[in-house]
A and B are shown apart, each in its own frame.
Chain A
Amino acid sequence: MDDGKEGHVWRGRIRDRMRGRATPLFIFEYATIPAASVWTGSRLWVEHFRSAGLRAGDRVLLALDPSPAWLMIFVACLWEDLTIVPVQPSSSSITLEAMRRFDARLAIAAAEGSIPAVVSPDRHGCPTQLVAPREAVFLPSRDTRLILSTSGTCGRPTHAAISDRNLDAVLCSHIPELGLDEHDTCLSTLPWTHAFGLIIDLLTAIFAGATVVRDAANGRDVSRLPALADDWGVTRACMVPLQAAKLAESETGLRFLTSLQGGVIGGAPVDALLARILATTRLRVGYGQTEASPGIALGQPGQWSDRTIGMTIGCETSIDCHSHLLCRGDNVCDAVWSESLGVVRMPAGRWLDTGDLVSQSPDGTMAFVGRADHAFKLSNGRLVNAPELERGLAHVLGGHAVVLITTRDHRTIDITIVASDAETLRSVAARGDEGLRRVAEPILGSLMRHLGRCTVRADHDVERDVKGQFVRPQRHGYPVRDDRTGRKNPSSSFLRVG
C-alpha cells in the first residue's frame, strides 16, 4: 500500500499509534479491541475504499453506533484523506436522505438488505460486499476531513467543514494541556457525531494512547456510570453539565466525580450551584463551538466559578466593544458544507464571532455572560433557538399573542404566551393544557420532552433574565392595558402544562 507519503497528515501518526500496539484500547459492552486490531481492520477498509474507487475528498457517511467497526472506518478514512460525515444511525430512508444532503459517495450503516452505495460491516467490524459508490454532484472536498453539524450558536445551524489543519491544531493544543497519556482510562459517553465528543473526548484519548471505555447507554443513564468507572478504573471523563449535575445528586455519583483525575465539562454553561460542586473535583471547563473544532478555551482542574469558560487555548481570542467573544486561529474551520453549493470557503484568517457575550478577569479567565442573540442552551448542550420557536408558536396561535421561551433551571423550557388584549388572552387560555401542548408539539419537536411550564398571561414588560442565560431585556415591550380598569400590568392568568 501507499504508506506514509508526504502530504498525508495522519498516516505517520496512525501507524505509530496503532500498528501492533496494545493501546489505545477500546472497551465496548460486548467487545474489546486494541489499537493493533483497529489497525488491521482499518487496512481492510482502506482496501475496500480503493476497490470501490473512492478518492481523496470523497465524502463517506458513517452512520454506525460507536463500535469497533466505527473506529476501523474512521481510521481508514483518515488514512485515505476521505471526508468523514459522522451521523447517528437511523433508518435506511434517513440514511439515504443524509447521503443526498452531504453528497456522500458511500455510506457505512447497519442496513438491512441491499441498499445502493451502503456497506454494512460484518460482526468483526470488517467490510462485506463491495458496492458501487453513488455519483457525487459536487467536487471532492479534499481539504475537509470532517463535516460536523453545528448547534447554531454562531448563527443558524449549519455544517462545519473541519480540515486537517483544524483538527491538528486542537489536538496539539489540548492533549498536552489535558495531560492525557497511555495510563489514562477515559469514559466515553458523548456522541461521536458531535465535535465535543469526537474531538475533545475521543480523538485526544486515541492520539494520547489511552484506554477508552464506551458507555453502551451513550451517557443517557448517568446512574450506571459510577459502576462502569469502578469496573474499568476510569480516570477521566468528559460530559455536559446536565450529566455532571445529575451525578452530583447522588452520593455515588459525587464520589465518582471527585475520583476522576481529569476531564472536561462543556457544551453548555455551568451554573453557580454546579460550579461549587465541580470546584471539589479535578474536572475543568472546556469551551468552544463546532466551528472552532471545538477548542477555544479551557479551565484549570478544579477552578470553577459561575459561568467560567476558562482561558484561551491554541488560538487567539478577542472581546469586542459589545462583549462578543471572537476567535481566530488554526482551530477555526475553513469552510462550511452547503447542501446546495457543496463546500463553501470562508475567508482565511477570519475572526469567528461565537455569538457569546463574555467578560474577562485580569488573569485572562473568561466568563460567559449571555448570548448576543436570544438563543440559549440547555444543560445537556441542546440549543434552543427561542426567537424562531416563538415566531412559529405565535403564528399558529394567531391573534395578537406574543410568545416568550425561557428557562429557569437549564433543564426545562418555559413557554409564556402573552396576550396583548383580553380577548386573545381568553382565546389562548381556552385551549387548555392539552390544546397548548398540541399546538407546541409540531413546533418544538423533540424539545417537547424538555417542556416544563406553559403559562398564559398578560404582562407589561416581558423581558429575559439578564443574569440568566439571556440578554437584551425588553425585547418585547408590550404594554397590556386591562380592559376594565385601564391599568397596565393586570393580574396574570396562569396555566400550567406538564
Chain B
Amino acid sequence: MTMTATTFVSSDVLSQLGRLTQAQADACDFGVVQVDNAGKIIIYNQWEANLAGITVQSAIGKSFFTQIAPCTNNGLFFGVFKKGVAAGSLDSTFAYTFTYKMKPTNVNIHLLHDSASRTNWVFVKTV
C-alpha cells in the first residue's frame, strides 16, 4: 500500500528526531507532528498550525487522527499508522488531500517511527 519513504524531510531533522524541540519543529517549512502510539499530539509545529487554522496550544494533547485531522481516520492513514507502530516499522509516504483554509490541498505525507528514539512522526508537505 505505501512504500518505503522517499522523504521530503531533511536529514538534519531526521537525525535529531529524538531531541527535536517545538522551536526546531517550528523552523521547518513543512508540517511536523509528533504523536504517541495512540496518536496523541506531543509536538505540533507552526507551519501545520498556520495551514490548519488552529493554534499549536489547542492541538497539543489532542488526538491527531480523530480530533485535529479527522479526515485521516481511515484505513489508509490511521490504519497504516497503527499497523506500523504495532510492528515497530512505520515508514510510509503517500499523497493525500487535506483541507487547508477551506480548500482541498494536495500534500505528501510521511509517517515515520524512529526506532532509536521510539518516537512517531507525521510529516506533511504541500505539493
Contact = CB atoms under 8 A, between A and B. Distances in A.
Given A25-B75, A40-B104, A233-B1, A31 B70 contact: no
A22 B104 contact: no
Interface in B33-80: 70-78
Contact of A20 (B70, B75, B95): B70
Nearest to B109: A32
Nearest to B3: A231
Interface stretch (A123-131, A347-355, A363-371, A447-455): A123-131
Contact of A34 (B1, B74, B102, B105): B74
Interface string A36-75: 1111110110000000000000000000000010001000
Interface string B77-93: 11000000000000000
A71 B99 CA distance: 15
A451 B100 CA distance: 52
B30 interface: no
A23 B74 contact: yes
B104 A232 contact: no
B111 to A, nearest CB: 13
B97 interface: yes
A37 B98 CA distance: 6
Nearest to A24: B74
The DSSP consensus for interface residues of chain A is: mixed
B71 A36 contact: yes
B104 A211 contact: no
Contacts of A38: 104
A276 B74 CA distance: 37
Given A23-B74, A68-B104, A124-B106, A36 B1 contact: no
A33 interface: yes
Instruction: Give chain A's interface residue range (CB within 8 Å of chain B).
Output: 20 to 34
A25 B104 contact: no
Given A22-B73, A34-B97, A37-B104, 4 more contacts: A34-B77, A39-B99, A124-B105, A231-B1
A480 B78 CA distance: 73
A373 B68 CA distance: 60
Instruction: Give chain B's interface residue range (CB within 8 Å of chain A).
Output: 20 to 34
B104 A27 contact: no
Nearest to A231: B1
A120 B103 CA distance: 16
Contacts, number: 74
Interface in B91-127: 94-99, 102-106
Contacts of B71: 20-22, 34-37
Interface string A174-191: 000000000001000000
B65 to A, nearest CB: 8
Interface in A3-22: 20-22
Interface in A116-164: 123-126
B75 A211 contact: yes
A-B pairs, top 8 by smallest CB distance, nearest first, are: A36-B71, A33-B97, A22-B74, A22-B73, A34-B71, A40-B99, A37-B104, A41-B104
A72 B96 CA distance: 15
Interface string A321-357: 0000000000000000000000000000000000000
Given A22-B74, A233-B75, A31 B106 contact: yes
A31 B95 contact: yes
A185 B97 contact: no
Given A32-B94, A37-B98, A233-B1, A25 B103 contact: no
Contacts of A31: 95, 97, 106
Given A20-B70, A34-B71, A25 B76 contact: yes
Nearest to A42: B104
Nearest to B126: A124
Contacts of B97: 31-34, 37, 68, 124
Nearest to A25: B74
A176 to B, nearest CB: 22
Which of A27, A30, A37 counts the most chain B CB atoms within 10 A? Answer: A37
B72 A123 contact: no
Contacts of B103: 40-41, 44, 124, 126
A25 B70 CA distance: 12
Given A40-B99, A68-B97, A185 B106 contact: no
Contacts of A233: 1, 75
Contacts of A30: 95
